[in-house]
Amino acid sequence: MTSRRLSTLNLTNDYVPFGVDMLSAVSAKVNGTGYVTQVVNPYDFTQQGAESAEAQSFVLMAYAAYNEWDKMGQP
């Protein structure tokens, strides 16, 4: 997410490929109901959770950054 924000601010494009790969990887973990699976349990970081509001918000912000970057021409 941050890599595309840095790109849209014309600061650096160095991390865009890594950021796109990470967004693709996390997108593969979204189930049919729109929840991100294989997340950390937000109440106990030593356990895997079934769903996480933090993971949901991360994916939404990452896609917002991706869409803005894409509309600006993907430098």
pTM for the predicted model, two decimal places? 0.71
In angstroms, what CA-CA distances link 72 with 37, 67, 68? 31, 9, 6
d(CA 47, CA 65): 29
pLDDT for 19-74, tens place per residue?
788 888 888 988 888 888 888 888 888 998 887 788 888 888 888 888 888 888 77
In angstroms, what CA-CA distances link 22 with 1, 36, 44? 9, 14, 24
d(CA 28, CA 7): 24
Task: At 40, give phi and psi (nearest 5°).
Answer: -80, 145
d(CA 8, CA 28): 25
